[in-house]
Chains A and B, each alone.
Chain A
Amino acid sequence: MREAAIIGYTQSAQRRYAGAANESELIMPVVREVMQSVGVSQKDIDFTCSGSCDYFQGAAFAFVEGLNAVATAPPIRESHVEMDAAWALYECLLKIWSGEADLCLVYGFSKSSPGELRSVLTLQLDPYYQVPLWPDAISLAALQARAMLDAGIISERDMAEVVARSRRAALANPKAQLSGESSVEELLAQPGFVSPLRRHDCAPITDGASALLVASAETARRLCARPAWIRGIDHRMETGMLGARDLTRSPSARYAGARAGVSAGAVDVAELHAPFSHQEIILRRELGLADGVSINPSGGALAGNVMMAAGLDRFGHVATRIMQGEAGRGVAHATSGACLQQNLVAVLEA
Chain B
Amino acid sequence: MSETREPITGIEVPINLQFKFTAGKALTRFLTSIREGRIVGQRCPGCNNVYVPPRGMCAACGIPTEEEVSVSDEGVIESFTVVHIPIPGNPIKPPFVAANILLDGTDMACLHRVSEVDNAKVHVGMRVKARWKPREEWDYTFENIAWFRPVEGS
Contact = CB atoms under 8 A, between A and B. Distances in A.
A–B: direct contact at CB < 8 Å:
yes
Contacts of B19: 57-59, 114-115
Contacts, number: 77
A139 interface: no
A68 B63 CA distance: 9
Given A58-B17, A115-B18, A116-B17, A71 B60 contact: yes
B21 A59 contact: yes
Interface stretch (A21-29, A156-164, A213-221): A21-29
How extensive is the interface on chain A, given as a class?
A: 20 to 34
B59 A68 contact: yes
A128 B12 CA distance: 9
B23 A68 contact: no
A132 interface: yes
A224 interface: no
B57 A25 contact: yes
A131 interface: yes
B102 to A, nearest CB: 19
B22 interface: yes
A124 interface: no
Contacts of B26: 25
Given A71-B63, A127-B13, A114 B20 contact: yes
A51 to B, nearest CB: 19
Interface in B1-54: 11, 13, 15, 17-28
A70 interface: yes
B127 to A, nearest CB: 29
A123 B17 CA distance: 11
Contacts of B64: 25, 28
B56 interface: yes
Task: Kindly list the 10 A-B residue pairs having the minimum CB-CB distance in the complex, ordered from nearest.
Answer: A71-B62, A58-B19, A22-B24, A73-B60, A68-B59, A70-B62, A115-B19, A114-B20, A114-B19, A132-B13
Interface of B: 11, 13, 15, 17-28, 55-57, 59-64
Interface of A: 18-22, 24-25, 28, 31-32, 42, 57-59, 67-73, 111, 113-116, 119-120, 123, 127-128, 131-132
13 contacts: A20-B24, A20-B28, A28-B57, A68-B62, A70-B62, A71-B60, A73-B59, A111-B22, A114-B20, A123-B15, A127-B13, A131-B13, A132-B11
